[in-house]
Structure 1
Amino acid sequence: MAESTLGLMASLKRLVHTLLAIGQTRLELLSNEWEEERFRISKMFIFGGFTLFFFGLSVLLATVFVVVLFWDTHRLLVIGGFTMLFFGAGFWALNAFRTLSREKPKLFSASLAELSKDRDQLVSRS
């Protein structure tokens, strides 16, 4: 009787140790995914800011150039045309932004897949 109790306790300890190791591994994977996502988003903001600044500056300078070029003949027509062009480009960019924001990858997908595998293995052993 004492040997079966010791064997049961050792088996229970191994089971708890295994479950804790699995949990620790999954938490480390979750933490890595969280850091990767944070890094990716911060890079997107930095490069997005640079992109907006430089493209905005180039569009502004090109507009000023064309307006000055047509200053004596059709300046109001050119300013109105650029206004409509930029307004349309703004709506196009807004639409593209909405589309991209809806297509984001699922957060913690690798962790969820690993947890699903663990659950399937535990169910198959039962």
Structure 2
Amino acid sequence: MTIKAYLYDKCGTCRKAKQWFQQNGVAIEEIPIVDAPPAADELRRMWKASGLSLQKFFNTSGQFYRELGLKDKLGAMSEDEMLELLASNGKLIKRPLVSDGKSVTVGFKEEEYEQTWGKR
């Protein structure tokens, strides 16, 4: 299956991830996360496949996250509410978000990329 990489051009971490894929000869489908964030049902599939807590999908260092005061609100929100919120604004999603339908990585850690995407 195609590796979908949700990226943001102005994000340094996204540029590092994109460079890693290029250097390792791994083809990806680039999707602009701000213009075309994944839908709630797609986010649910990625979250379940990732094995991470749903909170790990939030870009906690983002301005929009802080403006909405989500640090104090996430604990009281349902999974559906969190997924709908993430789907409503790509800047709320921690990036890069990469998935091939089975494996998912959130953020960029070279060792994790090597382990997950390097054996292609």
Q: TM-score, normalised by structure 1?
A: 0.19
Greater per-residue helix proportion: 1
Q: TM-score, normalised by structure 2?
A: 0.20
Larger RCO, structures 1/2 (Cα 8 Å, 6+ apart): 1
Greater per-residue strand proportion: 2
